[in-house]
A = this chain, B = another copy of it.
Amino acid sequence: MVLRTGNADHRTTTSGLLAGFVGERVPASHFKYRKGVEIFGEDDEAEYVYQIQSGAVRTYKMLPDGRRQINSFHLPDDMFGFENGPIHRFSAEAVIETTVCIIKRCSLVDEMAAREGGARDLIGLVTSNLQHAENHMLLLGRKTALERVVAFVHEMDERQHRPAVIRLPMNRRDIADYLGLTLETVSRALSTLRDDNILRFHDSTQRQVELLNRNRIAELNA
């Protein structure tokens, strides 16, 4: 089975793809959102497509009683908010202070459709999201708490290109709502991994993680 690291690989191509448009024929502007601010809500009109310049965004769905499921985290260069229909199917919020590049959805779609191979790129964009969702369903439906947390740090590691120290922009509750757990369970799993010398924290807020044993991580992630 091929190891698919979320949609990180597609996302990088995506940024290049978008670079070919923005500023040439598709108007774009920049916006800044402060920590915790909503970018768009479920069922809002899908007017814009977003690309992150700095910061981090969570997209999520909620149940009426407040239970929340985060679909994905978006990091610099990632696009989000692309919809086929006229309505957003989920909400988006800034996890920390975030700068985004905003493109009008209709102009992007028109331009892409007109361009040679543009349709294929758009399908690739949606497909990479679908691929991530498929992997995440397997995680949510069938993995243990420890496996989920391992998968999470692995994903973050890959998406930050295996840095010396992973920086987590989100808090434990966000991680929990992404992994279908409680924040306490996430905390305990991370402590277990720390005690097993698989990772180490580099700051007092426990948001900077060094992976001490990527082999074990990859093993546990199988």
Contact = CB atoms under 8 A, between A and B. Distances in A.
Interface of A: 1-2, 4, 42-43, 61, 63-64, 67-69, 71, 83-85, 87, 89-90, 113, 119-120, 122-124, 126-127, 129-131, 133-138, 140-143, 177, 179-180, 222
A180 B140 contact: yes
Nearest to A131: B89
Given A63-B142, A84-B127, A134 B43 contact: no
Contact of A127 (B2, B69, B126, B131): B126
A156 B113 CA distance: 35
Contacts of A140: 137, 140-141, 180
B180 A87 contact: no
Contacts of A135: 61
Contacts of A1: 42-43, 64
A123 B84 contact: yes
Smallest CB-CB A-B distances: 5 pairs? A141-B180, A119-B119, A133-B133, A140-B140, A84-B127
Nearest to A129: B130
A41 to B, nearest CB: 10
A148 to B, nearest CB: 10
Contact of A137 (B43, B85, B127, B137): B137
A69 B126 contact: no
A126 to B, nearest CB: 5
Nearest to A4: B89
Nearest to A147: B63
Contacts of A131: 89
Contacts of A222: 63-64
13 contacts: A1-B64, A61-B137, A69-B137, A71-B137, A89-B131, A89-B134, A113-B120, A126-B126, A126-B127, A133-B133, A133-B134, A141-B180, A142-B180
